[in-house]
Structure 1
Amino acid sequence: MAIIKCPECNHDISDKAPVCPCCGAPIAGHVVMCPVCGKVYFSNQAECPQCHHVTGEEAAGQTSEQEAAQAIVQTFEQDSEQKPEPTSEQNKPANAHKNNRIVIMVVVVVALVVCGICYAFYHNAQSDKEQQAYEMAMTSQDADVLQNYLAMYPNAPEEHIDSIQAHLEMLKAIDRDWTNAMVSGSKSAIERYLAEHPDSPFKNIAQHMIDSIDWSVASAAGNVESLEAYIESHPDGEHLEEANDAIKNLNATTVQPEDKLLVNGVFNSFFQSLNARDEEALTSTTSPVMAKFLGKSNATRSDVVTFMHKIYKSGVSSMKWQSMDDYNISKKDVGSQKIEYTVTFSAKQTVTHDDNTIEDSQYRVSAKVSPEGLISEFNMVKILE
């Protein structure tokens, strides 16, 4: 007995196996090994498919069979030559004994035939049962199933036992590799295990572990890019819904470049309106009722206009306000995908007096911008030099 490569599918099998358990190709009595290169190929092929060596064994075998057949025919002809028959008078005394012997022989033959048929049925039934158990074990990924086969059929065909033991060793190797991957706990080790054993019984567990590792990394990073990378790698991942929810929450609270442009535009318009002393433009940047404006609760647009006239006191010829573009912005989802911005930044005021003297002042501004893009709260404190 030897373990060979199936000429059809190249799987390891016993050379005594009736058929390959993987592809069904006939093996025992149907394959030969090339004496030159060692390639195993089907015996009905005229030459080795690898080195094209012609063994000549098939022709020699046919000649031997023909000679044996001729010898059997000659022997049969010699034994069947007729001998001189005795006279009828000589046959009469022996006829009765001869008939009795014939009857006994017939009965014995019939009994033997019946016993043979019964034994054949029993043997075939046992053989069929063993064959079914063998086929089931060879397709199983459970080592216990193979061990049970070996225990139940110790007298199974040698080629079956060899194939089962080879399959059992393969499963043990898979178990060892899986244990090593589990102990390492690394994603690369688990991925390498799956690449080496794509049909492993631990495939689902391994995929679950990879999914969990990637999700742990993405959620710990806590940014949209890492979450989107998880979704791309695991389109059917176990944490897909959590990833989408996290992205939605991050988009609702993480300030994007477009958010900064919106806030910057609102306050630039507010300060430009102050510089131009344009009441209509100024009030268009604020909510009709503001939660607070320079300390006053529920301030109206009239309060904003009053503030503008107040700062243009006597002796002021012009004024220039500008933000220092050091915005610190936070977002809040106030419902229905509406965003409110809370903003802090610095602003510079340059006042030119009628006598051409210039006075600069710095202020720290804290404000809020409504989902409609209007200033809903505005407070500022002068920064002393």
Structure 2
Amino acid sequence: MAIIKCPECGHEISDKAPFCPSCGVPIAGKVVSESTETVDSKDDGIEQCTNNENVQPSHNNKIIIGVVLAIVALVVGIGCYFYFSIQSDKELQAYNFAMASKDSQVLQSYLDQYPNAPEEHLDSIQAHLDILKKADFDWTNALISNSKSALEQYVTSHPDSPYKAIAMHKIDSIDWGIAQQNNTVEAFELYLEQHSEGEHVDEANRMISSINSRTIQPEDRLMISSIFNGFFKSLSDKDEDALTSFVNPLLANFLGKPNATKSDVVTFMHKIYKSDVKSMRWQLLDDYAINKKEVGAQQTEYAVTFSAIQTVVSQDNNTNEVKYKISAKLNNDGRIYDFNMIKLVE
């Protein structure tokens, strides 16, 4: 039982009363308990409130999830941008490095590592690689042939080849070997003409100097001929001063006498002019055999052999001819310091 208010007069009565004692309006079974309605109404409110609370969080979650997904997508997008940007920079750096390289392995490595690179990059690298491979092939052939002409052709065809220095070294070595084999001034001068900055320039100049120091030049022969013609003319003229001007103050040997002096030479001249000699003439046959060698810094020695005919006219006008083989040595000053004569028997 519950106490309710009469819907007609508002008098408080039991919900079990058959009618309102105040106004007579039927009550029992006719009027819904206010408390029940209130309770039901409250229950509906609670349920609605509960439903509203359940719905509201679901909507908010969708918004949050959407925002999170958007942020994730943005982060992923930015990450992808930077990744591909970095990859692009790496590819460009690798491309520039490969194009500047003369190593075929570097170019092949680029092609293997960046198969999806821009087509123009791939084409340029491949073309560059083909050139290097051709150069490598030509170098192998030139190297095997070891021919100067093949090496020169290789350098001409591939001026930027990494093997150019080796090729030039081999060409230099070939020309130097030819110069050494010929061993002449002309051969070494040709080497210097072909390789003004070659590896053997200093040695070539030394060889030229050495050969010249041993080679009898026309001026050497003229000087030697002049000295001995003057020496024997002085003998013929019995000119002591002229005679001694052609000999060294101290001679290592003069006609078998060691450490001879100018006075020994004068004594020899007077000795050959015997009392029955009316005149004497010496004729040099100009058959000089000359050996030239260096004996010190810019010091040259000449060893000379030649023939001379002595013609003696006696006081009774008889003529006698004797042939001599003469060997002598001249020092760097052009003075005789060693002298021997042997009579030739015919």
TM-score per shorter chain, which class?
0.7 to 0.9
Answering whether residue 134 of structure 2 is matched by residue 173 of structure 1, we say yes
Within 5 A, what are the aligned runs for 1:1-385? Answer: 108-385=69-346
CA distance in 1, matches of 2:185, 2:80: 75
Q: How many residues align?
A: 290
1:332 Cα offset (Å): 2.5
| Cα distance in structure 2, aligned partners of 1:173 and 1:354 | 95
Aligned to 2:10: none
SS at match of 2:293: strand
SS across alignment from 2:126: helix
Higher mean alpha-carbon deviation, 126-135 vs 313-322, is at: 313-322
Segment drifting more, 235-244 vs 320-329: 235-244
Cα deviation code 1:51-93 (max 9, x no counterpart): xxxxxxxxxxxxxxxxxxxxxxxxxxxxxxxxxxxxxxxxxxx
CA deviation digits over 1:150-193, x for unaligned, max 9? 22223323332232222212111101111111122121111111
Output the CA distance in 1 between the equivalents of 2:256 and 2:275. 24
Q: Secondary structure at the match of 1:322?
A: strand
Q: C-alpha distance in 2, partners of 1:326/1:173? A: 64
Q: Distance in 1 between matches of 2:108 and 2:85?
A: 23
Letter in 2 for 1:329: I
Higher Rg: 2
CA distance in 2, matches of 1:322, 1:339: 27
**What CA RMSD, in Å, does the superposition of the two structures yield over aligned residues?**
2.3
Counterpart-to-counterpart distance in 2, 1:191 and 1:322: 59
Cα deviations by residue, 1:128-165 (Å, 9 ceiling, x for unpaired): 11111111111111111112112222332333223222
Which AA in structure 2 matches 1:279? E
In the alignment, the residues of structure 2 paired with residue 138 and residue 338 of structure 1 have an alpha-carbon distance, to the nearest angstrom, of: 61
Aligned partners of 2:249 and 2:127: how far apart in 1?
Answer: 84
Q: Residue 270 of structure 1 aligns to which amino acid in structure 2?
A: F
- TM-fit CA distance, 1:306: 1.8
Structure 1 residue 256 displacement after superposition: 1.8
In the alignment, the residues of structure 2 paired with residue 318 and residue 145 of structure 1 have an alpha-carbon distance, to the nearest angstrom, of 95
Q: Deviations along 1:233-287, whole A, 9 cap, x unmatched?
A: 2222211222222223223222222221221111111011011111111111111
- Give 1:200's aligned amino acid: S
Specify the alignment match of 1:58 in structure 2.
none
Give, as a single letter, the amino acid of the residue that structure 2 aligns with 1:177: D
Residue by residue over 1:103-137, the C-alpha shift from the partner in whole angstroms, topping out at 9 and shown as x without a partner, is: 87666545433322210110010111111111111
Stretches of structure 2 that go unaligned for 5 or more consecutive residues are 1-57
C-alpha deviation, 1:99, in angstroms: 10
SS of residue paired to 1:183? helix
Give the letter aligned to residue 219 of structure 1.
Answer: Q
Moved more, 155-164 or 122-131: 155-164
Q: Secondary structure at the match of 1:334?
A: strand
Counterpart Cα distance in 2 of 1:272 and 1:205: 63
**Which stretch of the first structure deviates more once superposed, 295-304 or 128-137?**
295-304
Q: Secondary structure at the match of 2:258?
A: strand
Please give the alpha-carbon distance, in whole angstroms, between the structure 1 residues aligned to 2:184 and 2:284: 29
* SS at structure 2 position matched to 1:259: helix
**Structure 1: 5+ residue runs without aligned partners?**
1-96
Report the CA distance between 1:98 and its aligned residue.
11
Q: 1:339 is paired with a residue of what secondary structure? A: strand
| Aligned partner of residue 355 in structure 1, secondary structure | coil
